[in-house]
């Protein structure tokens, strides 16, 4: 079995999770979860979203969260924004953040229309402006994100050819702006991925762009997330997004109650138990996941929160 | 991608699920779930357990359940028992059941001691008697079951060599009784399997016994179940146990609240979305899973119950 020797798992729980939860989450609770996650060995944590508080009231306190958390040496803290106003808010608190922009395009036009009120041309135009604004502000464009890369609740199946086309669009935007981008994240925004679709999309992107590194952002909407992550590992993918306890989900997918991102501690368990180093402390992640459950006030999807790691049982058995 | 063209998924939800639920489940509710499952395209459903009502009060009504359900043409209904008393109870209602016995051994001796109060020699002796009693009653021995085939909460790791040794013990029991057994189920009783362990155990068993067909009985205790099932499919396994909605779990694993078996509808979704025929109606399974949730009175682990099938979204998108 030819698997990578190590992977990097980027934590998106705070940003994704607190965006979708219906109830107001106290700023202090958000800070407590970020600080708990900082102690888990993570190298990248996305901690806030600079979005319009009218649309996403759960992130009205982004500045207060960033002011309040305690950064840990060696951890990159990032935030998300979609427009110039968001960028300006991020720039105002940049001393505690690693600021990077993304060229983010949906491979499904119906999803982009529903989610962002933009068709394909509108997405491209918006991203050209986004890249220009970031260049002017001196903020690097770190990667391409292909949303709805494996299928879409509003369009149905998304083909590998559509993914390649979307990556092409993004590279054209980058090239025209004089930006070099080496990383692409294929995001299963609505839980359509299967291992076969993961293999097909990765194969098609690699065939068309042999200089791009592929990362996976998987949702567990239909319980297939960890199998898709495993297929990614088999194909040599070494960068994954995940969310502690399975926090999050896509607010635009129209499936309330469905699980969100694959759970960080379950992905770490998969990797570590197959000899793939993650640098993560799974037991600390499980404790952080239990804290997340107390904060949101309901059960989160992760099975590992209930069962614990195998390491703990090995210690007891020994 | 070289995957099987079809698989058989055996439903164990009624038997496994109603055994582990703490509250009393009405006989009529058990019957309603079995009848709902009969309409899902399943070919095999395990519907009851003839165990000592003092130890498993949830199955004191096994006879009443079997009397009450409506068998469907083409579906095999089975039950489980562990001793002669259970066999006698099953024989008394045999007209509605397909009666078969199993040579069931734990690959972990500490689990057998904890679960059955038997060491390795004690297990073998008990199984020799069990096979003899079944032969005398004219009930065939259908398969070997290796419990704790991938690891054990009480023993830690279980090696492929221990699995092979356990299968050897079982084959010796069969051979000495003049019984031919062609099927072996590797059961992840406590959720220790990873795709790598699945591959290693299957490889070792195939190398030692090239005439045995391997089935997988996977639990999702730590969220790895569907990845392990996918690895089984990759390796050509075509027989799986599962439980609608993820009902069940191992009552002896000491992990209350952890998920049980992999969910039938999620495994069916994995297969069908990769072009592997299951014969199952996933939407009917999801409805049966929602019925199971109403019966047990709490949320069950399956993500697909929340999100539905992709087929439904394809229809809406078209």
State the DSSP string of chain B. Answer: ----SB-EEEE-HHHHHHHH-SS---HHHHHHHHHHHHTTT-SEEEEEEE--TTT-GGGTTHHHHHHHS---TT-EEEEEESSHHHHHHHHHTGGGS---EEEEEES-HHHHHHHHS--HHHHHHHHHHHHHHHHHHT--EEEEEEET-S-BTTTB---HHHHHHHHHHHHHHHHHTT----EEEEE-TTS---HHHHHHHHHHHHHH-TTPEEEEE-B-TTS-HHHHHHHHHHTT--EEEEBGGG----TTSS-TTS--BPBHHHHHHHHHHTT-B----HHHHHHHHHHHHHHHTS--S-SHHHH--HHHHHHHH-
CA distance between the termini of chain A: 28
Distance, CA of A164 to CA of A171 (rounded, Å)? 10
Distance, CA of B243 to CA of B252 (rounded, Å)? 18
Provide, as residue numbers in chain B, all residues whose Cβ is less than 8 Å from the Cβ of A110: 317
Rounded to the nearest integer, the mean pLDDT of chain A is 94
- Residue A48: pLDDT over 70: yes
Three-state DSSP at A61 gives coil
Provide, as residue numbers in chain B, all residues whose Cβ is less than 8 Å from the Cβ of A249: none
Lowest-confidence region among A63-77, A218-232, B253-267? B253-267
Angle ∠(A40,B261,B184) on CA atoms, nearest 5: 115
Active-site choice (B40, B152, B228, B250) = B250
Q: Within a 10 A sphere around the Cβ of B141, how many other Cβ atoms?
A: 21
- The tens place of each residue's pLDDT in chain B, 318 residues long, gives 789 999 999 999 999 888 777 778 999 999 999 999 999 999 999 999 999 988 888 899 999 999 999 999 999 999 999 889 999 999 999 999 999 999 999 999 999 999 889 999 999 999 999 999 999 999 999 999 999 999 999 999 999 999 999 999 999 999 999 999 999 999 999 999 999 999 999 999 999 999 999 999 999 999 999 999 999 999 999 999 999 999 986 655 566 667 789 999 999 999 999 999 999 999 999 999 999 999 998 888 899 998 888 988 898 887
Distance, CA of B288 to CA of B17 (rounded, Å)? 13
What chain B residue is nearest to A197 in terms of C-alpha separation?
B274
The beta-carbon neighbor of B153 closest among A110, A226, A313 is A313
- Residue A58: pLDDT over 70: yes
DSSP character for A137?
Answer: T
Which residue out of A313, A315, A316 would a mutagenesis test of the B interface target, given it has the greatest number of B Cβ atoms within 10 Å?
A: A313
Would you state the pLDDT for residue B116? 84
- H or E stretch at A163: helix A160-176
Reported as a single tens digit per residue, the pLDDT across A164-193 is 999 999 999 999 999 999 999 999 999 999
The beta-carbon neighbor of A303 closest among B196, B223, B275 is B223
Residue A317 and residue B263: Cβ atoms within 8 Å? no
Which residue out of B188, B202, B222 would a mutagenesis test of the A interface target, given it has the greatest number of A Cβ atoms within 10 Å?
A: B222
Provide, as residue numbers in chain B, all residues whose Cβ is less than 8 Å from the Cβ of A223: 226, 263, 266, 269, 302-304
Residue A304 and residue B196: Cβ atoms within 8 Å? no
Would you state the pLDDT for residue B250? 60
What chain B residue is nearest to A310 in terms of C-alpha separation?
B192
Would you state the pLDDT for residue B14? 93
Provide, as residue numbers in chain A, all residues whose Cβ is less than 8 Å from the Cβ of B153: 313, 316-317
Residue A226 and residue B221: Cβ atoms within 8 Å? no
Distance, CA of B193 to CA of A191 (rounded, Å)? 24
The beta-carbon neighbor of B258 closest among A197, A275, A307 is A307
Residue A194 and residue B231: Cβ atoms within 8 Å? no
- Residue A160: pLDDT over 70: yes
- Residue A254: pLDDT over 70: no
* Domains by residue range for chain A, with CATH: 8-317 (3.20.20.70)
The beta-carbon neighbor of B199 closest among A1, A191, A316 is A1
Would you state the pLDDT for residue A25? 92
Residue A230 and residue B229: Cβ atoms within 8 Å? no
**Nearest chain A CA: its distance from B31 CA (Å):** 27
Q: Which of B80, B75, B93, B78 is nearest to B38 (CA)?
A: B75
Provide, as residue numbers in chain B, all residues whose Cβ is less than 8 Å from the Cβ of A308: 255
ipTM: 0.96
Task: Please list, in sequence order, all residues whose beta carbon lies within 8 angstroms of the beta carbon of residue B59, skipping any fewer than 6 positions away.
Answer: B18, B19, B48, B49, B50, B51, B53
Q: What residues are paired with A150 via a beta bridge?
A: none
The beta-carbon neighbor of A270 closest among B3, B194, B302 is B194
Active site positions of A, annotated: 250
Would you state the pLDDT for residue A285? 98
Q: Pick the residue with more confidence: B246 or A18?
A: B246
Residue B314 and residue A156: Cβ atoms within 8 Å? yes
Paired tokens of A59 = 């992130």
CB of B217 within 8 A of CB of B188? yes
Which residue out of A202, A224, A246, A274 would a mutagenesis test of the B interface target, given it has the greatest number of B Cβ atoms within 10 Å?
A: A224
Distance, CA of A111 to CA of A108 (rounded, Å)? 5
Structure confidence at residue A251 as a pLDDT band (50, 70, 90): low
Residue B307 and residue A224: Cβ atoms within 8 Å? no
Residue A255 and residue B221: Cβ atoms within 8 Å? no
């Amino acid at each position: 079995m030819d698997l990578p020797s190590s992977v990097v798992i980027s934590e998106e729980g705070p940003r994704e999770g607190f965006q979708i939860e219906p109830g107001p989450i106290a700023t202090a609770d958000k800070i407590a979860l970020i600080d708990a996650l900082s102690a888990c060995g993570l190298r990248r944590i996305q901690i806030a979203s600079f979005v319009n508080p009218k649309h996403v009231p759960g992130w009205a306190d982004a500045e207060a969260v960033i002011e309040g958390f305690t950064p840990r040496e060696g951890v990159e803290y990032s935030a998300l924004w979609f427009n110039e106003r968001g960028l300006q808010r991020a720039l105002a608190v940049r001393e505690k953040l690693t600021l990077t922009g993304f060229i983010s395009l949906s491979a499904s036009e119906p999803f982009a229309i529903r989610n962002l009120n933009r068709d394909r041309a509108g997405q491209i135009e918006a991203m050209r402006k986004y890249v220009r604004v970031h260049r002017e502000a001196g903020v690097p464009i770190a990667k391409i994100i292909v949303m709805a890369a494996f299928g879409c609740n509003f369009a149905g199946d998304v083909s590998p050819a559509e993914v390649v086309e979307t990556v092409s669009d993004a590279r054209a935007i980058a090239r025209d702006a004089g930006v070099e981008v080496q990383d692409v994240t294929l995001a299963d925004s609505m839980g359509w991925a299967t291992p076969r679709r993961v293999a097909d999309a990765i194969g098609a992107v690699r065939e068309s762009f042999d200089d791009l590194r592929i990362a996976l952002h998987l949702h567990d909407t239909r319980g297939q997330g960890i199998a898709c992550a495993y297929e990614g590992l088999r194909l040599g993918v070494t960068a994954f997004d995940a969310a502690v306890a399975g926090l999050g989900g896509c607010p635009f997918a129209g499936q309330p109650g469905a699980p969100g991102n694959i759970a960080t501690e379950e992905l770490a368990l998969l990797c570590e138990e197959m000899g793939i180093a993650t640098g993560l402390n799974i037991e600390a992640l499980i404790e952080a996941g239990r804290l997340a459950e107390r904060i949101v006030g309901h059960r989160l999807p992760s099975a590992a929160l209930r069962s614990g790691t195998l390491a703990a049982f090995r210690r007891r058995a020994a």
